[in-house]
Amino acid sequence: MSPTPRHIPAPERRARLALRHRLAPGAHATTPEEVAASLVALHGSDPATVHLAVGARLADASATVTETTRALYEDRTLIRAHGMRHTVFVYPAELTAVVHASTGLAVAARERANLVKDMAKAGAPDATWLKAVEEATLSALARRGQATASELALDEPRLKEQFAYAAGKPYEGVHTVSSRLLRVLGVEGKVVRGRPLGGWTSSQFRWAVAPAHPELDTAEAQATLLGRWLTTCGPATEADLKWWTGWRVTDVRRALAAIGAEPVTLDEGTGYVTAGDLAPVADPAEPWAALLPALDPTAMGWQHRDWYLAPELRPALFDRSGNVGPTVWWNGRVVGGWAQRPDGEITWRLLGREDIGREAETAIGAAAERLRGWVGETRVTPRFRTPVERELSA
């Protein structure tokens, strides 16, 4: 007879989150590399998110910009590239092969096929022509080290070619070969985002050749990635895992079996932890507060969020596409939202009816001052605006 799975209640899940996501006092990291390794990957769709997520977890937040810049663009120990759910992430360079094999290969095949099909519909050159342009582009990029699409087009003029997209439909437009091809090469793991054209909040990037990596077996790579994520974010349900990875449920189940994941019960149903991770986890030694950015990997980590985010708070904190905005945290739960005003002030608002107490408000205020201290003169506007962020930043 199988033993009854252990029940992990919501308070213990919040304790795990505080420690493993490096948010509690004593759990902060010393480098951006440690932050990324602990979280597996940082959302990179909004460039500011990466630095803000790192800054919230560094013991010395004043080093956030210089150290994250070093890791991304000088040492290249972190890379910004397409990953899970066809989304741009920043993750440790040593995970390049794992992310590519586990999530990128299937998406890459579809992206290239769609590009060839769209070009054919528009009467543009065929796949053979596209392959020649690709090879010339990669050679030019290798010579330059890093370059924008416009700079690469000086070396390979065929990148400037345009073709009609979705002719006759409401969303028809004109695409350039450069924008579509570089996107495909990114999904295929051949190029990554390089240094931005502006500051750390800039969304305009140069491109760079991706670091060399071996081709891994897909199933083995999926087991490795899922094991890394579950170590950080477990317990999690099958639905959480499917949502975060973007895989088919059969892939999730195969990876769970491969790593010997152990079932537990959660308030919302069956969950899983990695083998040997059943022991209870105590609360952090001290209470903690944090101001996390839009698309932070903790706020976006699970599909089921009731254990750290009350359902009634979601309309104010998420946009219509399901992207979370800046959030205020107290002891493992979201209690409000924050924003930066035009004069640089970090302002925040508690949401909901619960009185969290003076200690919590004092700690949140200190976290806001800490954030303003290292952000300095930079102004941050989330790429995906949410109701409470818009109100607070006005």
CA distance 295 to 371: 17
Element (H, E) at 209: strand 205-209
CA distance 267 to 14: 13
Q: Concatenated DSSP letters for 124-169?
A: ---HHHHHHHHHHHHHHHHHHSEE-HHHHHHH-GGGG-EEEESTTS
Listed ranges 50-64, 107-121, 166-180, 185-199; the one with the highest mean pLDDT: 50-64
Q: What is the pLDDT of residues 45-74, one digit of tens each?
A: 999 999 999 999 999 999 999 999 999 999
Confidence of residue 120 (pLDDT cuts 50, 70, 90): confident
CA distance 261 to 240: 14
Confidence of residue 85 (pLDDT cuts 50, 70, 90): confident
**CA 30: distance to chain centroid?**
20
Residue with tokens 């507060």: 289
Q: Is 262 in contact with 51 (CB distance < 8 Å)?
A: no
Calculate what percentage of the chain has a pLDDT beyond 70.
99
Q: Is 299 in contact with 334 (CB distance < 8 Å)?
A: yes
Q: Is 21 in contact with 57 (CB distance < 8 Å)?
A: yes
Which of the residue ranges 101-110, 209-218, 266-275, 303-312 would you say has the lowest mean pLDDT? Answer: 101-110
- pLDDT given for residue 352 in this prediction: 87
Average pLDDT score over the chain: 94
At 88 the three-state DSSP class reads strand
- pLDDT given for residue 118 in this prediction: 86
Confidence of residue 2 (pLDDT cuts 50, 70, 90): low
Once rounded to an integer, what is the mean pLDDT over residues 165-171?
A: 81
CA distance 309 to 295: 14
Confidence of residue 13 (pLDDT cuts 50, 70, 90): very high
Give, in order, the Cα–Cα distances in Å from 1 to each of 84, 263, 276.
Answer: 38, 15, 20
Confidence of residue 1 (pLDDT cuts 50, 70, 90): very low
CA distance 204 to 144: 18
Q: Is 70 in contact with 149 (CB distance < 8 Å)?
A: no
Residue with tokens 């019960």: 265
**Would you state the structure tokens that stand for residue 233, as one six-digit string?**
């974010």
- pLDDT given for residue 293 in this prediction: 98
> E strands within 267-387?
269-273, 289-292, 327-330, 333-340, 346-350
Q: Is 146 in contact with 194 (CB distance < 8 Å)?
A: yes
Note the pTM of the prediction, 2 decimals: 0.93
- pLDDT given for residue 171 in this prediction: 81
Q: What is the pLDDT of residues 324-368, one digit of tens each?
A: 999 999 999 999 999 999 999 999 999 988 889 999 999 999 999
Angle made by CA atoms 52, 53, 55, in degrees to the nearest 5: 60
Q: What is the pLDDT of residues 245-276, one digit of tens each?
A: 999 999 999 999 999 999 999 999 999 999 99
Q: Is 284 in contact with 15 (CB distance < 8 Å)?
A: yes
Once rounded to an integer, what is the mean pLDDT over residues 214-241?
A: 97
Handedness of CA 275, 261, 86, 98 (dihedral sign): positive
Calculate what percentage of the chain has a pLDDT beyond 90.
82
